[in-house]
Amino acid sequence: MQRPVLSLVIPMFNEELIIAELDRRLRDFLAELPEVGASWEVVFINDGSADQTLPMLKQLAVSEPRYKILSFSRNFGHQAAITAGVDRAEGDAVVVMDADLQDPPEVVRAMIARWREGNDVVYAVRAKRHGETWFKRATAALFYRLLRAMLGGISIPVDAGDFRLMSRPVVLTLRALREQHRFVRGMVAWVGFKQVAVTYERPARFAGETKYPLKKMIRFAVDGITSFSTVPLRMATWLGVSSGLIAISVAVWAFIERILGHVVQGWTTIMIAVSFGTCAQLLMIGILGEYVGRIYEEVKRRPLYIVGEELNLAPPAAVTSRLSPPV
């Protein structure tokens, strides 16, 4: 079977309110894409939805064989869903986008144009973010800039999510990266190739609720930082030096006070020094535990996801074996 020119990879988690509008927008957009014609596919990844997402997707796939469904046995998370879609997408160009229509399908046209110019990765940068609270915008901006400062040699685009187009060589390279704690946009930056940006205004979510509440946002930020940076580990040295300087200062002060015959109360200063040292130790134990825990997860070599059922898809490649991780 001939490989499609374009693959759209769309993770889905409890998106029953959006599916009808998403289907309409996709069909309208793909019908007006002469660069691709009829050579396209859409890979929907059902990430353990508890609503009617899977039955509704199945109905669509029956009428449109180019709609392909990969359904997980349970919820494995957004990054695992992206990974599964990339593993099974067959297009010369693969676009990852969210289902909530905050990643407008129409932006893909600009991505294809830049891909035709010889770029391997075309990522979408959010010029404006509509429908989001000031807190989310502020924390997102802080996260991207903090992550970029920590990574050094790896340049992760600021204000760019997972909405991007990748060429076939990039997709095949990503398939070889099988770490458990996944930060896909960082992995795409890490593999290199020729990368370029397109800008767009991100609209508000069409319906439903965000799948990234504060708890998941924090977890995602930790995954991004610890997957690509050892700077947190170096904090042990910095905190150790700081604690040592404070301890030396307190000792010198106490010694001088004793020589001068002053009564040294010292309780407050000592408590501050002890508290600072204890806090530094506990902080670094937690950071070390985070990295050790990730090593523990990696050595178990479990698969990144388990497929419960699929529809309209070709047999999986060896790297995406359902029940065993790659060797």
Q: Are residues 90 and 129 in the same domain?
A: yes
Contact, 65 vs 303, CB < 8 A?
Answer: no
Q: What is the pLDDT of residue 67?
A: 93
- In sequence order, the 6+-apart residues with CB closer than 8 A to the CB of 232 are 225, 226, 287, 290, 291
Identify the weakest region by mean pLDDT among 54-58, 128-132, 283-287, 298-302: 128-132
253 pLDDT more than 50: yes
227 closest CA partner among 326, 147, 284: 147
Helix axes 214-228 and 231-259, enclosed angle (nearest 10): 90
Q: What average pLDDT does the chain have?
A: 76
236 pLDDT more than 80: no
Q: Are residues 37 and 137 in the same domain?
A: yes
d(CA 322, CA 302): 10
* Structure token digits, residue 144: 């991207």
Q: Are residues 122 and 242 in the same domain?
A: no
Q: What CATH number is associated with residue 312? A: 3.90.550.10
Q: Which residue has the higher pLDDT, 146 or 103?
A: 103
Q: Are residues 36 and 84 in the same domain?
A: yes
273 closest CA partner among 316, 302, 244, 297: 244
Q: What is the pTM for the complete model shown? A: 0.68
* Structure token digits, residue 57: 């997707």
Q: Residue 122: how many CB atoms within 10 A of its CB?
A: 26
> Is 249 contained in some domain?
yes
Q: Are residues 32 and 159 in the same domain?
A: yes
43 pLDDT more than 90: yes
> Is 241 contained in some domain?
yes
Q: Are residues 73 and 114 in the same domain?
A: yes
> Is 325 contained in some domain?
no
50 pLDDT more than 80: yes
pLDDT digits (tens, 9 = 90+) for 95-107: 998 888 888 888 8
Q: Are residues 180 and 202 in the same domain?
A: yes
Contact, 119 vs 194, CB < 8 A?
Answer: yes
Q: Are residues 180 and 223 in the same domain?
A: yes
Percent of residues, the chain, with pLDDT higher than 70? 61
Q: Print the domain residue range for 281.
A: 231-299
Residue found under tokens 């685009």:
157
d(CA 84, CA 175): 9
116 pLDDT more than 80: yes
> Is 191 contained in some domain?
yes
- Domains of the chain: total: 2
> Is 142 contained in some domain?
yes
Q: What is the pLDDT of residue 321?
A: 37
Q: In the structure, what pLDDT confidence band is assigned to residue 120 with cuts at 50, 70 and 90? A: very high
Q: What is the pLDDT of residue 324?
A: 34
Q: What is the pLDDT of residue 240?
A: 64
Q: In the structure, what pLDDT confidence band is assigned to residue 68 with cuts at 50, 70 and 90? A: very high
User: What does 97-166 look like in DSSP terms, one character per residue?
Assistant: --TTSSS-TTHHHHHHHHHHTT-SEEEEEEEEETT--HHHHHHHHHHHHHHHHHHTTS-PPTTEEEEEEE
Q: What mean pLDDT comes out for the span 172-180? A: 86
93 closest CA partner among 34, 26, 166: 166
Q: What is the pLDDT of residue 184?
A: 82
> Is 326 contained in some domain?
no
315 pLDDT more than 80: no
96 closest CA partner among 205, 171, 17: 171
74-107 exposure pattern, b = at least 16 Cβ within 10 A, e = fewer: ebbbbbbbbbbbbbbbbbebbbbbbbbbbbbbeb
Q: Are residues 163 and 238 in the same domain?
A: no
Percent of residues, the chain, with pLDDT higher than 90? 13
Q: Are residues 99 and 120 in the same domain?
A: yes
The secondary structure of residue 197, as a DSSP letter, is: E
Q: What is the pLDDT of residue 131?
A: 55
d(CA 248, CA 264): 16
Q: Are residues 143 and 280 in the same domain?
A: no
pLDDT digits (tens, 9 = 90+) for 7-25: 999 999 888 888 888 898 8
Q: Are residues 315 and 288 in the same domain?
A: no
Q: In the structure, what pLDDT confidence band is assigned to residue 42 with cuts at 50, 70 and 90? A: very high
